[in-house]
Amino acid sequence: MTMTLRRADAITSVSLDDHVAAALSLVQQTEVCSVPLAEATGLVLADDLTAPGFLPAFDNAAMDGYAVHHADLAGTGGVPVHLPLADEIAACSTLPPPLRRGTAAPIMTGAPLPQGATAVVPIEHTLDTTAGVELPVVVPAGQHVRRRGQEHLPGDVLLGRGRLLRPVDLAVLAAAGISTAPVHRRPRVAVLGTGTELVAPGERRVDGAVHDANTTLLATLVRTYGADVTTLPPTADDRPDVLRHLVERAAATHDLVVTAGGVSAGTHEVVRLALDRRGSHFHPVAISPGAPQGLGTVAGTPLLALPGNPSAALVSCAMFVRPVVLALAGRGAAESGWTSVTLAQSLDRRPDRTRILPVLLEERGGRTLALECGSAHRLESFAAGEAIVRLEPGDHPVRAGSRVPALRL
């Protein structure tokens, strides 16, 4: 008996989450290196960093004014006190002489508090007199004094391993006297478009040709994930040999190679022809848009082969390239960037695949509402929106008011 099988029946698609897991299984975090603070924003700390000393390193004035012993101002029956002046203390790198009881030392913000002083009186609460300075009657001990070690003590953990370094974190390290940070090296990603029809933006387009949107799209998007990106010139559809050579060369010097186009079911699928069953495999993933995908390694370097339709390339980049780049950089799953939003309208699902849709976000009544903003097969819909939402496979629409995962683009 002869059995006919429609080709589509022979190809089982992989779930979105399984494809992400397979991609992540190829990843090893980049090695640890020490970088100057100025270059560490957006990198992940590879070790706990502890304070080498006290901060502040010495007691100092929190206000411009007068350093006093608080007890010298008390017990005058409500009459303001007049004290003679001691030498002025400015912020400098030497310690001032001790304060003699019964005197007030003019002091500047940040200057070391002289030994024997217990408080600082702000200048605007004082009056100059011929004999010195008139001071208020009651000043609590410790007023406007920043105590040694009140921010941190030697050995305190300043920042924990795994932290994504932000400018404020780097300032914390600088304030503690630390000049470099041990981080996972910024991942290096090579991006390569494909298609004989492609011409560069700015170049004259002849009939049948298409301006290359994916190289710009993928390079700029992947940079926002914190990677250094190299773009390679698009490869023609009839040159799998050239593509293989380019990908192998890129794999030797990058942590990830991303291609776009040439993965579906035609006869000129250059990426597929060059790489299928040479460390990579190609299959549909249960996602729309972005179903045709390839995945594997080239000389040990992970490769993600995305579909060529620009909206499918965009969705694939957000769903697959992004987690891989974050994992390479040592960033934990907790920082996935996905949040939950409320649907402002009912949205149809697909029974067999996850739908990814561009949406507008609107803050209303303490909730973030998601509003559909056009077809997911048009790049411009994503430009009109601010985020994508993920609708799991199902037979019935997801109702208005339901919460769904969203990722800002």
Q: Can you tell me which of 290, 296, 330, 358 binds ligand MOO, judged by CB under 6 A?
A: 290
Q: How many residues bind ligand LQZAQKY5 (CB under 6 A)?
A: 24
SS3 152: strand
Name which of 56 and 358 has its Cβ closer to ligand MOO.
Answer: 358
Residue 151 binding: pick among ligand LQZAQKY5, ligand MOO, none (C-beta 5-8 Å cut-off by kind):
none
11 is in the binding site of which of ligand MOO, ligand LQZAQKY5, none (Cβ under 5 to 8 A by kind)? none
Least Cβ distance, residue 272 to ligand LQZAQKY5 (angstroms): 8
Site membership for ligand LQZAQKY5, residue 261 (CB under 6 A): yes
Cβ neighbours of residue 202 closer than 8 Å, sequence gap 6 or more: none
The listed partner (ligand LQZAQKY5, ligand MOO, none) that binds 308, CB under 5 to 8 Å by sort, is: ligand LQZAQKY5
DSSP code of residue 31? P
385/374 Cα distance (integer angstroms): 9
| 3-class SS of residue 224 | helix
DSSP 91: S
Q: Does 307 bind ligand MOO (CB under 6 A)?
A: yes
Alpha carbon 180 to chain centroid, angstroms: 19
Pairing of strands 287-288, 354-364: parallel
Tell me which residues in 312-331 interact with ligand MOO (CB under 6 A). 312
* DSSP per-residue codes, 382-407: HHH-SEEEEE-S-SSPBPTT-EEEEE
- 59's contact among ligand LQZAQKY5, ligand MOO, none, with CB below 5 to 8 A by partner kind, is none
Cα 264 to Cα 312: distance, rounded to the nearest angstrom: 12
> Beta-carbon neighbour count of residue 148 at 10 Å?
17
Helix (H) or strand (E) holding 339: strand 339-343
Give the rounded distance of the alpha carbon of 287 from its chain centre. 26
Interactions with ligand LQZAQKY5, residue window 25-84 (CB under 6 A) = none
Q: Which stretch binds ligand LQZAQKY5 (CB under 6 A): 97-105, 113-121, 193-201, 225-233?
A: 193-201
**Among the residue ranges 100-108, 137-145, 187-195, 325-333, the one whose residues contact ligand LQZAQKY5 (CB under 6 A):** 187-195
Query: Applying CB under 6 A, does 309 fall inside the site for ligand LQZAQKY5?
Result: yes
Q: Which residues bind ligand MOO (CB under 6 A)?
A: 288-291, 307, 309, 311-312, 377
